[in-house]
Amino acid sequence: MSLLTRYLISRISLVTLFTLLALVALFSFFDIINEAGDLGKGSYTLGIMLVHVLLQIPGHIYELLPLAVLIGTLVAMSLLASGSEYTVMRASGVSLLRVGSILVQIGLVFALVTLLMGEFIAPKAEQEAERLKIRATRSVVAQQFNSGSWMKDDRNFINVREILPDNSLIGLRIYSYDADLRLTRTRYAERGFYLGDGSWRLEKVQDSDITPERIVRSHHDALVWKSVIRPEILSVLLVVPEQMSGLNLVAYIDHLKNNSQKTSRYEIALWGKIFYPLACLSMALMALAFTPVNRREGNLGMQLFIGILIGLSFHFFNRLLGHLGLLYDWWPAAVAIVPTLTFLAAGAVLTARRERR
């Protein structure tokens, strides 16, 4: 690695990290304001609230890294131009292609960090943050309807009134149908505990077996229920699809497909997990298009404004396309990659035009 490459990487990386720190601090401050209204509920104290906010930081890092790369690269390159360092580099024969290749290296490093953060750290931290708050405020998990949460397991429709943070179930109802979609059994259990290997221990169970002639009711203090519903599937309900890991998304999509349920939102989130880290590369190259060649062109305030504007445009375009893709059932991979490719192509075109001038 040449001296020039090391110098540019160190300068840009340092400014990017400071930018990321400032953005994360700002978003954490907003989180504190948002959580302040829940203080005093149950045992949700100030200390628990601060831990909850800290556990949300990895998720913010994952979301904000592309924006930090864009602003950090713009600011760092503008500072180099204002000190005539970038001008000297270009005048000494360093081509735009060479500078672009260095920025690609920086973008790839931050893309790798984004990938690791989004796959291994942020999802676990988000789930722990939600569990912590649920335990403290004595809330239930993912009560999607007034009747609770609904799931499908083959010909069984499962309704759970409450899912506790330890994935135990309260108020479990199971409606079983035959091949002709006739209701054959209803089962109610006050509580359910996972035993492992797809088995649940149900307590205080009431069964109603339905036949054309009569309904037979039975009661059990406890029994074992086999189901494909597992704690890792229930844990999905703690966070939105965009905050889940790719492995959990794959498992949950497979579960939904096996039960003939719609998977569009989860597939879009999965492809987003794959392509979103490449946004760091697009943002680094986009910054090059707005880098001033000399100090007369340099205006740090304007570069910062441009960076924030482009970053917000990417964020809103990404969200808008995701909602449109879900609404019109577009191909999930295209929905996820189009924003990144659009900004990458725009950066390449603007850089080429700037070089020709």
Name which residue leads in pLDDT, 153 or 187: 187
Round to whole Å and give the CA distance between 63 and 71.
14
Q: Does 256 reside within a domain?
A: no
On whether both 45 and 120 belong to a single domain, the answer is yes
At residue 300, the pLDDT reads 63
On whether both 336 and 211 belong to a single domain, the answer is no
Quick count: other Cβ atoms within 10 Å of Cβ 160?
A: 25
On whether both 221 and 109 belong to a single domain, the answer is no
- Choose among 271, 316, 244: nearest CA to 67: 316
What is the band of 296 on the pLDDT scale with cuts at 50, 70, 90? low
Q: Is 30 within 8 Å of 100 (Cβ atoms)?
A: no
Instruction: Say what the pTM is.
Output: 0.79
pLDDT at residue 194 tops 90: yes
At residue 294, the pLDDT reads 65
On whether both 120 and 169 belong to a single domain, the answer is no
Using DSSP's 3-state secondary structure scheme, residue 163 falls into strand
- Domain that includes residue 82, residue range: 3-138+263-356
**Range 295-314 average pLDDT:** 74
On whether both 111 and 57 belong to a single domain, the answer is yes
Q: Does 131 reside within a domain?
A: yes
Q: Does 274 reside within a domain?
A: yes
Using DSSP's 3-state secondary structure scheme, residue 200 falls into strand
Burial class (CB within 10 angstroms; exposed 0-12, middle 13-18, buried 19+) of 219: exposed
CATH number at residue 178: 2.30.30
Using DSSP's 3-state secondary structure scheme, residue 343 falls into helix
Which tokens belong to 96?
């735009």
User: In the chain, how many domains are there?
Assistant: 2
Q: Does 147 reside within a domain?
A: no
User: C-alpha 253: how far from its chain's center?
Assistant: 16
Round to whole Å and give the CA distance between 184 and 30.
51
Least confident of 64-73, 87-96, 229-238, 252-261: 229-238
On whether both 304 and 159 belong to a single domain, the answer is no
At residue 297, the pLDDT reads 58
On whether both 186 and 212 belong to a single domain, the answer is yes
Q: Does 112 reside within a domain?
A: yes
- Choose among 49, 28, 27, 53: nearest CA to 40: 49
Which tokens belong to 179?
């091949």
Question: Residue 214 contacts by C-beta under 8 Å, 6 or more apart in sequence?
Answer: none
Using DSSP's 3-state secondary structure scheme, residue 197 falls into coil
Q: Does 334 reside within a domain?
A: yes
Which element (helix H / strand E) includes 162?
Answer: strand 156-163
pLDDT at residue 340 tops 60: yes
Q: Is 331 within 8 Å of 268 (Cβ atoms)?
A: no
Q: For 201-255, how does the pLDDT look when each residue is reduced to its tens digit (9 = 90+)?
A: 999 999 999 988 899 999 999 999 998 788 867 766 667 788 888 888 898 888 8
Q: Which of 174, 201, 227 is the last residue of a domain?
A: 227
| Length reported for the chain | 357
Q: Cα 51–56–61 angle (5° rounding)? A: 135
